[in-house]
Chain A
Amino acid sequence: MNVDAPTGAAGIVAAGVTGTGVTGATAAGTGVVGSDAALRQILHGLPGVDQVGAHERAASLATRSIKRDAKLWALDMAVRMVDLTTLEGADTPGKVRGLCTKARQPDPDDPSVPPVAAVCVYPDLVSLARGELAGSGVAVASVATAFPSGRASLAVKLADVADALNAGADEVDMVIDRGAFLAGRYAQVYEEVRAVREACGPTHLKVILETAELATLDNTLRAAWLAMLAGADFIKTSTGKVTPAATPPVALVMLSAVRDFAEATGRRVGVKVAGGIRTAKDAIRYLVLVREIAGPQWLTPEAFRIGASSLLNDLLMQRRKQLTGAYAGPDYFTLD
């Protein structure tokens, strides 16, 4: 057991399950990480999270005053971190085309605005999005595994992943089985993530925890470690279909977890906050959390993303205000 890191999980890491993805041992083979009981010992051995303390720290960091060039930098970075998202039953090719146009060039009046990180759609629209985004540098992320509920057999979930991959998705956003997690079937959750990890191969995998359904910050921390141990490239707060979605205290816990995981294993896992982030002010508050909780190494789209739709225009409006000095209006930004 590694006494320098206060977490049992790090001990497991030292024992050979590196969580690096493709080459990691399968769950059934290790024996250590094979059972609900063993995983329970690891996850419940993590330090507790004091809810009041976590909320206070998040609230304190929300008082950071980000002005002038620091604000402009943050707004640009936030744009670059956006996963522009449409995940509606009513999505059509027309809707996705518009989204992709916006993603490539968020502000037609200002070509200095960088493109977003990715577009996020359902698997059956991935192929279309790929075509629209070819050559732009904007990635195509697809949800999968019976998003958003996660209520389907593993076979169905893996078929969903396969569809996304075959259509050419650059990134896969999977959901964990929250029912299994809340019932204590940690091994099942772990195995499902590992199975998707293996199916993805080198494709970037985000694991959605759906923290609102997990209810407690302790559960958020445990689910985060479970996902990271199973090989997630990113851990993600929410599907955006359940309220509340991302919140600062939840992000704080996840950012602490990736920081500690990196310290224990040397591997940087990213964080994506998704759902309910509508204003530039909110986005900048999340960037402050990234910087002060996880560290500057996470201030890059490779390690932090914001899943959003209407946020983008507010980022553009605030950016315009910073550059021109006048408050902007929504009519000057496109609704794609």
Chain B
Amino acid sequence: MASVSTTTAGAEWEYAPAPESREIVTIRPEYGLFTGGEFAAPLSGKHFTTLNPASEEPLASVAEAGEADVDRAVASARKAYDQAWGRMPGRERAKYLYRIARAIQERAREFAVLESLDNGKPIKESRDVDIPLAAAHFFYHAGWADKLGYAGFGPDPRPLGVAGQVIPWNFPLLMAAWKLAPALATGNTCVLKPAETTPLTALLLAEVIQEAELPPGTVNIITGDGSAGAGLVGHPGVNKIAFTGSTEVGKEIQAAVAGTGKKLTLELGGKAANVVFDDAPLDQAVEGIVNGIFFNQGHVCCAGSRLLLAEPIADAVLDRLKQRLATLRLGDPLDKNTDIGAINSRQQLDKIEGLVAAGEAEGAQRWSPPCPLPAKGYWFPPTVFSGVSQSHRIAREEIFGPVLSVLTFRTPEEAVAKANNTPYGLSAGVWTEKGSRILWMAQRLRAGVVWANTYNRFDPASPFGGYQESGFGREGGRAGLAAYLDA
């Protein structure tokens, strides 16, 4: 910044710690599996520990579902489907789902604190984004339960039966809502397998479901690791598999399900291009870039991890971006002023560090704002790589962390070509004041979600999902119902 001629200098103003209290949430020392409407000890006899990634402190001991547990859960879902939920009129299903939506709203703060403790994301995000959206998903889909004849799938579309659903750790409660709400609204019963490192909000949701008095077995929640997920995917009693996670595992699941007659939807990784033209609304574009890659510590499948800048404005945008990044606050996820929280696990941190080292080795220029990291926990500072080329690993591989790769382009055609030059196709961003160019770009970008002059906006009414190796099937909106209907 140019030195400013002033008569009086300004002042430093440090924000005091503003911690959200943990007291609102009661974490049990040990959790069982939720099947048949009850919590019960796992037949496997095994448990594992879930940690707070910001401090590495153990939070709870959680059941590890084995083969017999998966079997019991699927049987429970089948019974509930055959005897209760599968025969229930839509208007009654709707009212159960509205109960869940309302309960999430009532216990919103509890859910938000628990999510930040278990996942590491800032309370500001869990409170203002994750939990409200989760409630909204239940609310929106509740309203479809008795209107399926209007959804465009024929006058009386039928559900599939039992849905096996495996979700990731980046938006634990929200991903549970994205899976359960449409499945239940359309008349299916569910077995949900939360991610190994983030089981707690799903288990609290199980309590909500219990209190809402859904017929036992309508929703079953079985915690465990990858083998529990594989067991669920491979179980012959499941009619439908829905998976959100890495492309690598998605391909394994697709192969495993091939030829079994099970329906499948996948929501996998991405390496989205965020394209900024020279007539972009600059300050808001910088905000969009920041939201695109640093929201949720970059643990977002649709993150704008490749910034494509029109060459004439590249330096100016980078300058503004760096100034903006210097105001990001990294630290205790429960502090209300924290912008960047912890990386979810040691494993994920290792992966990020590995790819960042590769980026440096390949010759890109790395920059981070001054950012002291806490001593305990898993942390990575917001990082920008400039001078990146399409062939650099950091431009091709999903890092899933707060690391932005910056490239340039000259013309709209070149921007499209570079943006589409990836096996992924989940999302993309476009920044320009020119409406026709937004629509032209949107038409050409091979991505399931295109954000224009905004980024990372989600709504239960808005379908979400990818092209190519980012998966298939959509979640949200009318299109999202298709995944759970026999249509």
Stretch at the interface among B7-15, B200-208, B210-218, B261-269: B7-15
Of the candidates B3, B9, B13, B284, which one forms a contact with A291 in the assembled complex, judged by CB atoms under 8 Å apart? B13
Contact-size category for A: 35 or more
Q: Is the CB of B288 within 8 A of A47?
A: no
Contact with A along B308-347 (1 / 0, CB 8 A): 0000110110010000000100000000110000000000
Q: Is the CB of B16 within 8 A of A262?
A: no
Stretch at the interface among B63-71, B274-282, B397-405: B274-282
Contact with B along A47-78 (1 / 0, CB 8 A): 11110111011000001111111110110010
Q: Which residues of A contact B312 (CB under 8 A)?
A: 3
Q: Is the CB of B337 within 8 A of A262?
A: no
Q: Which residues of B contact A5 (CB under 8 A)?
A: 316
A298 and B284 in contact (CB under 8 A), knowing A63-B124, A266-B3?
A: no
Q: Is the CB of B288 within 8 A of A296?
A: no
Q: How many A-B residue pairs have CB under 8 A?
A: 111
A53 and B454 in contact (CB under 8 A), knowing A266-B2, A303-B6?
A: yes
Q: Is the CB of A48 within 8 A of B433?
A: yes
Q: Does A300 contact B (CB under 8 A)?
A: yes
State how many angstroms separate the Cβ of B320 from the closest Cβ of chain A: 9
State how many angstroms separate the Cβ of B281 from the closest Cβ of chain A: 4
Complex: chain B residue closest to A46, CB-CB: B282
Q: Is the CB of B4 within 8 A of A53?
A: no
Q: How many residues of B contact A (CB 8 A)?
A: 39
Q: Does B56 contact A (CB under 8 A)?
A: no
Q: Is the CB of A57 within 8 A of B287?
A: yes
Of the candidates A47, A53, A262, which one forms a contact with B287 in the assembled complex, judged by CB atoms under 8 Å apart? A53
Cα A101 to Cα B280 in complex, Å, equals: 50
Q: Is the CB of B280 within 8 A of A47?
A: yes
Q: Which residues of A contact B316 (CB under 8 A)?
A: 4-6
Q: Which residues of B contact A54 (CB under 8 A)?
A: 283-284
Q: By CB atoms of chain A within 10 A, which of B10, B12, B282, B288 has the most? A: B10
Q: Which residues of B contact A262 (CB under 8 A)?
A: 1-2, 4
Q: Is the CB of A66 within 8 A of B15?
A: yes
Q: Does B453 contact A (CB under 8 A)?
A: yes
Q: Which residues of B contact A63 (CB under 8 A)?
A: 124, 128, 336
Cα A74 to Cα B397 in complex, Å, equals: 45
Q: Which residues of B contact A268 (CB under 8 A)?
A: 4-6
Q: Does A295 contact B (CB under 8 A)?
A: yes
Q: Which residues of A contact B284 (CB under 8 A)?
A: 49-50, 53-54, 57
State how many angstroms separate the Cβ of A235 from the closest Cβ of chain B: 16
Q: Is the CB of B283 within 8 A of A256?
A: yes
Q: Does B18 contact A (CB under 8 A)?
A: yes
State how many angstroms separate the Cβ of A43 from the closest Cβ of chain B: 15
Q: Is the CB of B10 within 8 A of A70?
A: no
Q: Which residues of B contact A263 (CB under 8 A)?
A: 1-2
Q: Which residues of A contact B13 (CB under 8 A)?
A: 70, 73-74, 77, 287, 291, 296, 299
A66 and B16 in contact (CB under 8 A), knowing A47-B280, A263-B1?
A: yes
Q: Which residues of B contact A256 (CB under 8 A)?
A: 283
Cα A77 to Cα B11 in complex, Å, equals: 10
State how many angstroms separate the Cβ of B89 from the closest Cβ of chain A: 40
Q: Is the CB of B16 within 8 A of A299?
A: no
Q: Which residues of B contact A297 (CB under 8 A)?
A: 4, 6, 9-10
Q: Does A185 contact B (CB under 8 A)?
A: no
Q: Is the CB of B7 within 8 A of A302?
A: yes
Cα A58 to Cα B283 in complex, Å, equals: 12
Q: Which residues of A contact B7 (CB under 8 A)?
A: 302
Contact with B along A298-309 (1 / 0, CB 8 A): 111011000000
Q: Does A124 contact B (CB under 8 A)?
A: no
Cα A52 to Cα B12 in complex, Å, equals: 30
Q: Does A40 contact B (CB under 8 A)?
A: no
Q: List residues of chain B with CB under 8 Å of any chain A CB.
A: 1-18, 124, 128, 279-284, 287-288, 312-313, 315-316, 319, 327, 336-337, 433, 453-454
Q: List residues of chain A with CB under 8 Å of any chain B CB.
A: 3-6, 47-50, 52-54, 56-57, 63-71, 73-74, 77, 256, 262-268, 287, 291-292, 295-300, 302-303
Closest 5 CB pairs of A and B: A53-B284, A65-B18, A297-B10, A65-B336, A70-B16
